[in-house]
Chains A and B, each alone.
Chain A
Amino acid sequence: MSTRTLPLLFINLGGEMLYILDQRLRAQNIPADKAKKVMNDIITTMFNKKFLEELFKPQELYSKKALRTVFDRLAHASIMRLNQASMDKLYDLMTMAFKYQVLLCPRPKDILLVSFNHMDAIRDFVKDTPSILSQVDETNKQLVEIYTPLSGGEFQLIRQTLLIFFQDMHIRVSIFLKDKVQNSNGRFVLPTSGPVPYGTHAPGLMRMFSCSGEEVRRMQFRDGGNYNAALREGSFEMYGDRVIKLGTNMYSVSRPVETHMSGTSKNSSQHTKVNTTPNPLAKEELNLLARLMGGLEVQNPVGTDSGFRVNLFATDEEEEEALISRPDELSYEVINIQATKDKQTNAELAKIMGEFGETGEPSPSSSSKGDDLLAMMDGL
């Protein structure tokens, strides 16, 4: 549908990823200089000029699987490593957070304000590093230029495209459950009270007009909700008060990152079924993906000393348990594309890379497909 959706999806998911990593780096007492390096490296990669040029070209959205591949690579753009269970959890948290923001944003156009909230926070992460800051600012300028002229209808199409992307994902997130914005079945709570979107009147008033245009009668109806007047409109400029809070950092030391890993199995399994049907597009999409990711420069840990692993779980045991107990229908079946060099330096990664391919298919054919893609990526 909307060919303008991918940049917003990438920037908002990326923003959520940075919030989570920032919180985990603190929680695991990673030395400040290393933590800083990780954040800076990932943000540098995210806002790489060549990569963004590809990203901002009008195009259809990628499949969930393909996008997950992009974020796998992005998360490993520095000296930090995540194992599969942690990466799964990270991606679950990112996607459910952005799904919530898309669903709850008052007007379709407010998706842009959500994006600006993420951009503002990213800018704050790199405020001490002018070279990266200018990269981020450049993207921000592009967002303003491309998106502010769009009509409400075009934003609605973007929103509808995003909602199709997130359709049938019902992973429960503890921070949402605690805040009572998500139900135990994984569906989000939609309030029927509070301020209406900017430009909308609280329901209730009915006005009748005569043929000459004069108002002849006014009535009120009982709307059943408890709405009040809209807040002022957030700023769509480079800098300003966005007014809405969706897309700001919801994690803190006292509100750590946690997930409950359970889909509402019925829908998720249906969805997986749809995803595993042979897709003639797969190759076409892989090509696009390779082109897009050609811009993603990945730094490799020089030695084993400087690299470190971040865990999205409280303990290693928990992480291991999560990997084993993860329901099949929640498997992302990730396409592992890592620079070939990684193979030599990181045994664990090499092991994961060996797992490339679609589940249930014999591995030889799929791994050769993976090698082709690797070669393509290296050639870029």
Chain B
Amino acid sequence: MAKMYHKEKSIPIKSSASALYNNLSVLRIAPRCLTYFTVVHANVVNMVSASWDGLNYSHRQLQSKEGNVTTSSSLIMQAAWCVLPSRDLLVLTSQKGIQMYESDGSIMVYWHALDTPETPTAKAVFARGIAAVRDKYICVGVSSGSVLVFDVPSKGSNITLSEVLEEHKEAITDMASECSGSLEGIADLVSADDSGLLCVWKSGEDFQLLNKIPGFDTSCSSVKLWKGTVIAGYGTGQIRLYEAITGILHAEVNAHARWIYTLDIAPFTGLLLSAAEDSWVRVWHLSLTPETNSVEIEHMYNECVTDTQICGAKFCDGDGYAFAVTGYDLSEIIRYTQA
């Protein structure tokens, strides 16, 4: 079998990646032929802006400086770019709260503090799971199981918490919005938690719960929503494909030998990326057959990142022509492009 992807020159980062779910975010700045990457290291976010050939890059680091300075600087759980029609924002979630920055990390436009107890409790407090939904919403998950919906104006810092969705009982792990760009679909958002429960939502002034897909006692660590299909990756190394509205299980794949850390989808081609603690990155292809209302999954490619527990993997473009990978203790972003 011919190699589908080959390794390119890596992009160094200032400090190594922490073992956190979905610990890589990618934003493509087409007009300037740049790609922005973020990788979380403990209480710091590494930002890199790189040319498309990966040969030129510049760095910036964001600290989780928040609230008053006498409190400790908290650990960051996730950093992700949120692309809304009117603006792009960089969203950071931590033990203390949620920070929203302009996409280049220059200005913090919004800060939402979490309810943190005076003395630590047995249940940790943090925010995790970030998704931009439709025209103006950014949704963020919380360790209590709540999903916070923020209403984001087309410019300025007048961001408001418009709704709190209370359907999950366990800590939110990940969230994803419909990424096909199609407005026909009914489902806009899917949220996942530590029990494996998936909630499917329709956005609007009031978010509407469309469906609850029960878990099977294992964490769903990463989730995607594409053309009405929920793609979920679990702690058991399985990937499952569900029809969002009905919860019908279309496919189940024993994909990885250890905990899956991240999934990504190239919306234009239906290529699916999965990566796990087992040091494997796999590429799959999804195809829909509307007549029979079925989804097929086909395995395309394996890449082993030797001796690396992978924590982030993302396509760099909508076709899945290139992807990037991060791993625990690695101070680089490894890039692959189609041969």
Contacts and interface: CB of A to CB of B under 8 A. Distances in A.
B337 interface: no
A151 B42 CA distance: 23
A201 B224 CA distance: 22
Nearest to B299: A221
A307 interface: no
B interface majority secondary structure: loop
A152 B15 contact: no
Given A163-B18, A163-B328, A156 B307 contact: no
B249 A151 contact: no
A22 B221 CA distance: 41
B16 interface: yes
A1 B75 contact: yes
A200 to B, nearest CB: 5
A205 B235 contact: no
Interface in A314-367: none
Contact of A59 (B15, B120, B257, B280): B120
Interface in B283-309: 293-294, 296-297, 299, 302, 304, 306-309
Contact of A187 (B126, B250, B329): B329
B257 A227 contact: yes
Contacts of A371: none
A133 B325 CA distance: 48
Contact of A1 (B70, B95, B195, B235): B95
B306 to A, nearest CB: 8
B15 A274 contact: yes
A66 to B, nearest CB: 13
A280 B72 contact: yes
Given A3-B120, A202-B257, A205-B254, A153 B194 contact: yes
B256 A167 contact: no
Contact of A3 (B19, B124, B331): B124
Q: Which of A60, A160, A227 has the most B CB atoms < 10 Å from its CB?
A: A160
B223 to A, nearest CB: 14
A137 interface: no
A208 B73 CA distance: 47
Given A201-B254, A203-B237, A223-B302, A167 B309 contact: no
B20 interface: yes
A294 interface: no
B18 A160 contact: yes
Contacts of A224: 280, 302, 304
A227 B257 CA distance: 8
A305 to B, nearest CB: 46
Contacts of B42: 164, 167
Interface residues of B, number: 67
Nearest to B77: A1
A199 B221 CA distance: 16
B100 interface: no
A160 B218 CA distance: 17
Interface in A184-215: 187-190, 192, 196-197, 199-211, 213
Contact of A152 (B72, B124, B235, B250): B235
A270 B59 CA distance: 15
A223 B255 CA distance: 8
A222 B303 CA distance: 12
A237 interface: no
B112 interface: no
A1 B126 contact: yes
B257 A203 contact: yes
A265 interface: no
Interface in A1-33: 1-4
A interface majority secondary structure: loop
A108 interface: yes
B192 to A, nearest CB: 11
B279 interface: yes
Interface size class of A (residues with CB under 8 A): 35 or more
Given A203-B254, A206-B299, A188 B293 contact: no
B4 interface: no
Interface in B122-144: 122-124, 126
Given A190-B279, A190-B309, A224-B304, A200 B72 contact: no
Nearest to B12: A266
A203 B238 CA distance: 8
A192 B124 contact: no
B280 A223 contact: yes
Interface string B1-31: 0000000000000111011100000000000
Contacts of A196: 237, 257-258
Interface string A273-299: 010000011001000000000000000
A121 interface: no
A202 B126 CA distance: 33
A192 B278 contact: yes
A153 B302 contact: no
Q: Which of A57, A168, A189 has the most B CB atoms < 10 Å from its CB?
A: A168
B171 interface: yes
A339 B135 CA distance: 63
Contacts of B70: 280
Contact of A281 (B72, B171, B217, B236): B72
Contacts of A234: none
Given A163-B328, A224-B302, A205 B120 contact: no
Contact of A153 (B71, B122, B170, B236): B170
A240 interface: no
A179 to B, nearest CB: 15
Interface string B165-193: 00000110100000000000000000001
A154 interface: yes
B261 to A, nearest CB: 10
Nearest to B305: A190
A206 B123 CA distance: 36
Interface in B235-275: 235-238, 248-259
Given A151-B195, A167-B42, A168-B329, 20 more contacts: A3-B120, A3-B122, A107-B235, A107-B258, A151-B219, A152-B218, A153-B194, A157-B171, A168-B16, A192-B304, A201-B238, A206-B251, A207-B251, A208-B294, A208-B296, A209-B249, A211-B293, A213-B248, A213-B249, A227-B257
10 contacts: A3-B123, A151-B195, A190-B309, A201-B236, A203-B255, A208-B250, A221-B253, A225-B257, A280-B71, A280-B72
